[in-house]
Amino acid sequence: MAHDLGFWTLQALNALQLSMLLFLLSIGLTVIFGLMHFVNLAHGSLYALGAYFAASLAAVGGYWMGFFLAPVAVAGVGILLYSGLIKRMRKSGPMSQVLVTFGLIFVLLDLTRIFWGDLALAIDVPTLLGGRLTFLGVEYPTYRLFIIVLGLAIFGALAFVLSRTQIGAMIRAGVDNDAMAACLGINVERLFFIVFCVGCALAGLAGAVVAPLLSVTPDMGLQILIPTLIVIVIGGLGSLKGAIAGSLIYGFVQTFGAVLAPQLASVLIYALLAAVLVIKPEGLFPAKG
């Protein structure tokens, strides 16, 4: 096995696929943290809602209907949360934010149970992405390759927006120093709102993408919350580079740890997290602010 190039290529693809899923979740949350200084622990619940919306829409109009509309639906939920709760809690301090959004996790958990029940839902992989493709000499599921390509495409699009457009410059200014950005005439409140909605939509997209791979259950948001927070802490708050770096580190450590040291796989990532917190508490690539 140690000399089987195909085996290691397969594990690398698995790690990359996990990393791209975590990136879709972590990028929205880390920019919300970095720009809004808001601790939104309910972000994983929005991911679960995205999976449920995708499953319901797929039952009506097929996979692609769920894929495109689930992020829009989750962004709509984000608008309601921002207007009714998040905007009022922004100045209340991190402890109040943690307590309120932690409670919101269980509110959204019970709402999903009320609307969809406790039974797991499933989505079929679309016909276009069914089957397997040969990649680097290894046969790999087409749908998982699609997830990798989608994550890389979104990373590229976000990198372009943040580095090459006016709104990207405004976001970077807001992350670095929101008070100075407001003094320069940037509508920081509107910027907060847009970033929050985009982050919610990306969480919904992650839920829609993962639905054909995992059973859609009410507690799936809780299961993904800790890995997402680990990615953010390792990568650094408010940074696109930190989000992709943290996602890749988590994905590869988790995947190859399970192969090389299965007895230690469950603690490897936490040991790495502890090391980062001791050596560089702000994360590997934090935003300047």
What was the pLDDT predicted at 288? 65
Strand partners, 135: 138
**Across-strand partners of 138?**
135
What whole-number distance in Å separates Cα of residue 238 and Cα of residue 34?
Answer: 4
> What is the predicted pLDDT for the residue at 152?
95
Can you say how many angstroms the Cα of residue 69 is from the centroid of all Cα atoms in its chain? 17
Decide: pTM greater than 0.85.
Answer: yes
Packing angle of the helix pair 94-116, 43-61 (nearest 10 deg): 20
Q: Is residue 288 part of a domain?
A: no
**156 occurs within a structural domain:** yes
221 domain-assigned: yes
Task: Answer yes or no: is 242 within a domain.
Answer: yes
d(CA 58, CA 115): 16
pLDDT of residue 183: 85
Side-chain-side CA neighbours of 42 within 13 Å: the count stands at 25
Task: Examine residue 16 and state whether it is found in any structural domain, yes or no.
Answer: yes
- Residue ranges making up the domain that contains 163: 7-119+131-279
pLDDT reported for residue 81: 92
What's the pLDDT score for residue 77? 95
- Residue identified by tokens 């988790």 is 254
Nearest alpha-carbon partner for 56 in 15, 5, 116: 116
**Residue 128 DSSP label:** G
CATH code: domain of residue 193: 1.10.3470
Considering the domain boundaries, does residue 29 fall inside one? yes
Q: Into how many domains does the chain fold?
A: 1
From CA 229, how far away is CA 22, in angstroms rounded? 10
Which residue, chain included where needed, has tokens 């408010």? Answer: 238
Residue 126 located in a structural domain:
no
pLDDT along the chain (289 residues), means of 10: 74 94 89 76 93 95 95 95 85 84 92 92 90 84 94 93 86 77 83 88 94 91 91 87 93 90 84 91 80
How far apart, in whole angstroms, are the C-alpha atoms of residue 37 and residue 93?
9
Comparing C-alpha atoms, which of 196, 197, 205, 200 is closest to residue 69?
205
Q: Residue 27 falls within a domain, yes or no?
A: yes
Measured in whole angstroms, the distance separating CA 18 from the mean position of its chain's CA atoms is 11
